[in-house]
């Protein structure tokens, strides 16, 4: 597999492994430990210091291939680096590869105007600011994006935004300076032309972060997730992305790469969970033998290796297809990975928790928080059921065509 990497990508991979070993793993607990309440949403000096180190070593914007600010890697190449940095929940921000900023930077690079890129993309690429993506709403089933009710109304040279969003990842952070908001600009238009995306500065009058949201009790500070209210928020018309009525088009373009990046990272989490499951099994004794000598534990380890290999292959296939045929043509492969990988990683992490016993449930290991993260993604970026439904339609259509032939 690694023979497919270019010399540039292979060198980056080796440097990334070394950086993780030297800087991330030793500081992981400090980076993930909940900070004092007064400092919860403030940038952590340790993280900021490691970001500067990563930038100095050229391990920065590894995902980005739209210009000199990134490393110019293919999706296939980045997938193998992303697996490495995905081994720690603390790592993505260190390399400026964290969600939702990655997806937002992709949106701005692909659909943003030159003025929008200057104001927002450049500081995101340099790590000066953070961003959030406000799409999901508490009042409606947002798995169907056409349900979204937030109003984006034209008023002269401005748009006025009114609505309530939640699960806006990154919004609680003191460094979050802009939200990409998706709302309904023309309820009378064709179903997929009613939505618009607009850039809303977080300090605009009428923007209010109501509360942080936790995932199984984890707030994921200092980035976190939030519920936000937009009340009569006025923003210039030039803040609209791509054009009025094109929000759904942008969403489809954004979610494909975002989904596959999550999958790449979760392969790394699953690999690390398997490694520490084996370490624990060798080192712990119960009922006269090590856990590693017990058949049930050995079955769990063996099955975990099978599961990870299958998940990695569907992820690499999706990345390979995106590189050769484009994101739209790879939508089925992306959907398969989005379904398979979070479920697989969750199963492997759950087995590792079981082998660790009570310790696996505690903050002494990364497993509990990692499990919460993988469970979150079975809903985030579109619930599994939506992707299965889309795949079923494709398969049934193929069956119908076969029968007609």
Tokens encoding 228: 């936000």
For residues 26 and 68, give the distance between their C-alpha atoms in angstroms, rounded to a whole number.
31
- Pair (388, 255) in one structural domain: yes
**pLDDT of 363 higher than 60:** yes
Is-contact 315 267, C-beta < 8 A? yes
- Pair (351, 313) in one structural domain: yes
What is the average pLDDT across 172-189? 97
**CA nearest 348: which of 396, 401, 303?**
303
Is-contact 209 226, C-beta < 8 A? yes
Tokens encoding 240: 């609209």
Q: Which of 188, 218, 241 is the last residue of a domain?
A: 241
The 10s digit of each residue's pLDDT in 308-333 is 999 999 999 999 999 999 988 999 99
For residues 138 and 51, give the distance between their C-alpha atoms in angstroms, rounded to a whole number.
34
**CA nearest 335: which of 279, 260, 230?**
260
For residues 302 and 238, give the distance between their C-alpha atoms in angstroms, rounded to a whole number.
55
The 10s digit of each residue's pLDDT in 104-162 is 999 999 999 999 999 999 999 999 999 999 999 999 998 898 999 999 999 999 999 99
Establish if 107 belongs to a structural domain: no
Give the other-Cβ count within 10 Å of 188's Cβ.
6
The 10s digit of each residue's pLDDT in 232-269 is 999 999 999 999 999 999 988 877 777 889 999 999 99
The CATH number covering residue 8 comes to 1.10.540.10
Q: Which of 214, 241, 268 is the last residue of a domain?
A: 241
Report the domain count for the chain. 3
- Pair (227, 319) in one structural domain: no
Number of residues assigned to the chain: 405
Give the other-Cβ count within 10 Å of 169's Cβ.
26
CB neighbour class for 384 (10 Å; exposed up to 12, middle 13-18, buried from 19):
middle
For residues 262 and 345, give the distance between their C-alpha atoms in angstroms, rounded to a whole number.
11
- Pair (264, 201) in one structural domain: no
- Pair (210, 269) in one structural domain: no
The CATH number covering residue 143 comes to 2.40.110.10
Tokens encoding 57: 């070593």
Phi/psi at 203 (5° precision): -95, 10
**So what's the pLDDT on residue 262?**
92
Considering Cα of 341, then 346, then 349, then 350, what sign does the dihedral take?
negative
**pLDDT of 98 higher than 60:** yes
Establish if 330 belongs to a structural domain: yes
- Pair (366, 335) in one structural domain: yes
For residues 54 and 92, give the distance between their C-alpha atoms in angstroms, rounded to a whole number.
11
CB neighbour class for 101 (10 Å; exposed up to 12, middle 13-18, buried from 19):
buried
- Pair (147, 230) in one structural domain: yes
Is-contact 146 204, C-beta < 8 A? no
- Pair (289, 220) in one structural domain: no
Establish if 151 belongs to a structural domain: yes
Q: What percent of the chain has pLDDT over 90?
A: 92
Establish if 262 belongs to a structural domain: yes
**So what's the pLDDT on residue 405?**
64
Radius of gyration for the chain, computed over Cα atoms and rounded to the nearest angstrom: 22
Tokens encoding 340: 């398979």
Please state, rounded to an integer, the average pLDDT across all residues of the chain. 95
- Pair (255, 382) in one structural domain: yes
**pLDDT of 342 higher than 60:** yes
The 10s digit of each residue's pLDDT in 196-210 is 999 999 999 999 999
**CA nearest 67: which of 14, 108, 8?**
108
**CA nearest 63: which of 82, 50, 48, 47?**
82
Alpha helices (H) along 284-380: 295-325, 331-356, 367-377
- Residue ranges making up the domain that contains 89: 2-98
The CATH number covering residue 253 comes to 1.20.140.10
**pLDDT of 2 higher than 60:** no
- Pair (210, 274) in one structural domain: no
The residue behind tokens 């033998």 is: 289
Establish if 183 belongs to a structural domain: yes
**So what's the pLDDT on residue 252?**
83
- Pair (372, 294) in one structural domain: yes
Q: Which of 198, 222, 241 is the last residue of a domain?
A: 241
Tokens encoding 266: 């979760």
**pTM, entire model:** 0.94
- Pair (296, 189) in one structural domain: no
Beta strand spans in 34-150 (E): 130-134
Establish if 113 belongs to a structural domain: no
Residues 6+ apart with CB under 8 A from 183: 148, 149, 150, 151, 152, 161, 163, 195, 196, 198, 247
Establish if 178 belongs to a structural domain: yes
**Bridge partners, 234 (sequence order):** 160
Establish if 117 belongs to a structural domain: no
């Amino acid at each position: 597999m690694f023979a497919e990497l270019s010399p540039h990508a292979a060198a980056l991979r080796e440097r990334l492994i070394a950086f993780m070993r030297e800087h991330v793993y030793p500081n992981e607990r400090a980076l993930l430990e909940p900070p004092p309440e007064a400092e919860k949403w403030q940038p952590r000096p340790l993280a900021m210091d490691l970001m500067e180190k990563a930038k100095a070593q050229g391990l920065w914007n590894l995902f980005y291939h739209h210009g000199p600010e990134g490393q110019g890697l293919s999706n296939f190449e980045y997938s193998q680096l992303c697996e490495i940095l995905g081994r720690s929940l603390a790592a993505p921000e260190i390399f400026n590869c964290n969600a939702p900023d990655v997806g937002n930077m992709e949106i701005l690079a692909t659909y943003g105007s030159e003025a929008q890129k200057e104001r927002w993309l450049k500081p995101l690429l340099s790590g000066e600011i953070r961003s959030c993506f406000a799409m999901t709403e508490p009042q409606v089933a947002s798995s169907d994006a056409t349900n979204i009710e937030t109003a984006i109304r034209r008023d002269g040279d401005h748009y006025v935004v009114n609505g309530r969003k939640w699960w806006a990842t990154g919004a609680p952070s003191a460094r979050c300076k802009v939200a990409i908001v998706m709302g309904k600009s023309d309820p009378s238009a064709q179903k997929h032309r009613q939505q618009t995306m607009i850039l809303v500065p977080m300090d605009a009058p009428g923007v209010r972060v109501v509360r942080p949201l936790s995932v199984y009790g984890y707030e994921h500070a200092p980035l976190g997730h939030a519920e936000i209210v937009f009340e009569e928020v006025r923003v210039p018309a030039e803040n609209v992305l791509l054009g009025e009525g094109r929000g759904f088009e942008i969403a489809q373009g954004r979610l494909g790469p975002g989904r596959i990046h999550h999958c790449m990272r979760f392969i790394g989490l699953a690999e690390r969970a398997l490694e520490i499951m084996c370490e624990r099994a060798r080192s712990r004794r119960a009922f006269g033998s090590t856990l590693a000598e017990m058949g049930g534990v050995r079955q769990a380890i063996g099955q975990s290796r099978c599961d990870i290999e299958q998940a990695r292959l569907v992820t690499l296939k999706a990345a390979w297809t995106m590189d050769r045929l484009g994101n739209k043509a790879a939508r089925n492969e992306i959907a398969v990975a989005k379904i398979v990988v979070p479920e697989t990683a969750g199963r492997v992490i759950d087995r590792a928790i079981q082998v660790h016993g009570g310790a696996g449930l505690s903050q002494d290991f990364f497993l509990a928080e990692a499990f919460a993260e993988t469970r979150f993604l079975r809903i985030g970026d579109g619930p599994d059921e939506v992707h299965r439904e889309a795949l079923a339609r494709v398969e049934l259509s193929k069956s119908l065509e076969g029968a007609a032939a």
